[in-house]
Amino acid sequence: MFDQAFEALAVGDVYLSPARTVTASDLDTFADWSGDHYPLHTDALYAKGTVYGERILHGLGVLSLVFGLVPLQAPEVLALYGMNRVRFFRPVTIGTALHARVECKALKATAAGGLVTVLLTAEDEAAAAYMVAEMMILMRRQT
C-alpha cells in the first residue's frame, strides 16, 4: 500500500502482510528495550498464576510488531503522522502468528503532503483481531 504514490491510493484499499510468529525472545527483547519488565511479560511462573495462564506480549509490543510488518517505501512515505484509538482485544501469547491488515479509511491532500488514515489491525490466521489502531501516514504527493 505504501509503495505507491499517494494519488494511486483509494479509500477501501486493503493490504495484508505475511504473518510473523511471536517468540519468547520477542517478549524478552521488548522488555529489555522498553524497560517494561512487568512479570506478566517476563516471569512464566508469575504469569501462570494470572487469568492469562502464560506470558503475554506487551500491548505496545503487539503494536510495534504489527506496524513493522507494513512495508513503508521511501521516498513515498515521509513520516508516521499520528495514532488514535489504539485498542487491545485479546492477549498475544508465545506461538501466536499475527499479520497486519491495513485498510485505507481516508485521504487528505495537505501542504505538507498526502495524509493517509488507515485502520491497522493485528489478526491471526483465522482473522481474529488482537489489536486495532487508527494511524495517519504522511506521504509525498506527486502534484
Place of cell 494519488: 7
Q: 3-class SS at 136?
A: strand
pLDDT at 4 over 90: no
Please count the other Cβ atoms lying within 10 Å of the Cβ belonging to residue 103.
Answer: 16
Q: For 44-103, what is each residue's pLDDT tens digit?
A: 999 999 999 999 999 999 999 999 999 998 899 999 999 999 999 999 999 999 999 999
Domain assignment present for 26: no
Q: Supply the range of the domain harboring residue 81.
A: 6-21+58-139
Alpha-helical regions (H) of the chain: 24-34, 39-42, 44-48, 59-68
Domain assignment present for 11: yes
Domain assignment present for 111: yes
Domain assignment present for 83: yes
Domain assignment present for 10: yes
Domain count, the chain: 1
Domain assignment present for 37: no
Spatial neighbors of 74 by CB under 8 A, at least 6 apart, are none
For residue 81, give the CATH number of its domain: 3.10.129.10
